[in-house]
Amino acid sequence: MTIKGKHIYITSCTVQRHLVELFYAFSQMEIKNLVFFSKNLTLTRQREYLSRMEESPTDHLFVIKEIETEQLVGTIGLHEHDVHHNNIRYGGMVFPGYKGKGYGYEATRLILGYAFNELKVNKVYINAFPTNDNLIALCAKLCFRFDGILREHYFLNGKYHDMYHFTKLRKEWKNE
């Protein structure tokens, strides 16, 4: 599936089409420090992860590409779709060198449209580290509601971390 915007498009991530390209991007030290990968990122682990995402009925992983250059600029996804409660978790990242161009905002608008209009979810939620200023600013720009702090919610590097919890409801999306 491909969804086009003005400057970028998002397309479903597959092992066959994107494994090597993503492995190269995530192998770069500056990108690796931004995500929660094992220090031992390997092509095999990357393949296993992408295979799980591709086969998962509850996850929708996309790559973000520039329309003009076809350059990979990031990833974006909807995860852990709870069909009973009809909510889904957002996750995404724009790679260094492409930040500040509005790609994250545009890709997020595209994936929110997919979540609310195609998947028909009632709620999209975002969990953000309190130090992730870019994601927090994106939530504000897209009028996500700050619902509170999930205390010691995420275990990383040997300790627990708080997460900010943001939500957007379908009825709020329709009113935009």
* Domain presence at residue 163: no
pLDDT given for residue 25 in this prediction = 80
Structure confidence at residue 20 as a pLDDT band (50, 70, 90): confident
**Helical H segments across the chain, by residue range:** 15-27, 29-32, 43-55, 103-113, 133-141, 170-174
Specify the number of domains making up the chain.
1
Task: Assign residue 87 the CATH number of its domain.
Answer: 3.40.630.30
Query: pLDDT per residue over 77-136, tens digit each?
Result: 999 999 999 999 999 999 888 989 999 999 999 999 999 999 999 999 999 999 999 999
Phi, psi of 34, deg, nearest 5: -90, -15
* Domain presence at residue 172: no
Tokens of 171: 């009825």
Count of C-beta atoms within a 10 Å radius of residue 145: 13
pLDDT given for residue 158 in this prediction = 85
pLDDT given for residue 39 in this prediction = 56
* Domain presence at residue 109: yes
* Domain presence at residue 153: no
* Domain housing 6: 2-126
Identify residue 142 by its one-letter amino acid code: L
Query: pLDDT per residue over 35-65, tens digit each?
Result: 555 556 788 888 888 899 999 999 999 999 9
Q: Has residue 33 got a pLDDT over 80?
A: no
pLDDT given for residue 32 in this prediction = 47
